[in-house]
C-alpha cells in the first residue's frame, strides 16, 4: 500500500494546508441573496411543472385507449351472452 496524501476517492485530505490564495478567497465569500434563491426555486418549479404536464400528455392517450377498449369489450360481451327465458 502506498503512503500518498490522498484518500480512497482520490481527493486530498481535508487537514492539508490550503495556502494563502484560497484563504483570501474564503474571505470574499458572500451570502446568497433571497431574490436569487427565489428565482432559482421558481425556475425549478417551472421545469418540474412542465415535466409533469408533458408526462401526463404522453400517458393520457394510452389511458383513454385502454378505457375505450375495456368499454367496448364489456359492451360486446353483453351481446354475446344470451339470457335464457
DSSP string, 11-78: PBPTTS--HHHHHHHHHT--PPPHHHHHHHHHHHHHHHHHHHHHHHHHHHHHHHHHHHHHHHHHHHHH
Q: Count how many domains the chain has.
A: 1
Residue 21 lies in a domain: no
Range of the domain at 71: 31-80
Residue-wise pLDDT tens digits, 17-32: 666 677 777 778 788 8
8 Å CB contact between 6 and 12 = yes
What pLDDT score was predicted for residue 1?
46
Is residue 52 situated within a structural domain?
yes
Could you tell me if residue 45 is inside a domain? Answer: yes
Within a domain: 85? no
Q: Rounded CA gap, 63 and 1, in Å?
A: 59
Q: Is residue 46 part of a domain?
A: yes
Does 69 fall in a domain?
A: yes
In a domain? residue 5: no
| Residues 38-82: tens digit of each pLDDT | 999 999 999 999 999 999 998 999 999 999 999 999 988 877 665
pLDDT at 29: 79
Amino acid at each position: 500500500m502506498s503512503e500518498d496524501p490522498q484518500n480512497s476517492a482520490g481527493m486530498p485530505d481535508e487537514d492539508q494546508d490550503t495556502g494563502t490564495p484560497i484563504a483570501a478567497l474564503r474571505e470574499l465569500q458572500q451570502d446568497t441573496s433571497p431574490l436569487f434563491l427565489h428565482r432559482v426555486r421558481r425556475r425549478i418549479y417551472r421545469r418540474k411543472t412542465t415535466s409533469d404536464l408533458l408526462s401526463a400528455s404522453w400517458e393520457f392517450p394510452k389511458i383513454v385507449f385502454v378505457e375505450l377498449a375495456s368499454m367496448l369489450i364489456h359492451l360486446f360481451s353483453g351481446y354475446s351472452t344470451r339470457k335464457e327465458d
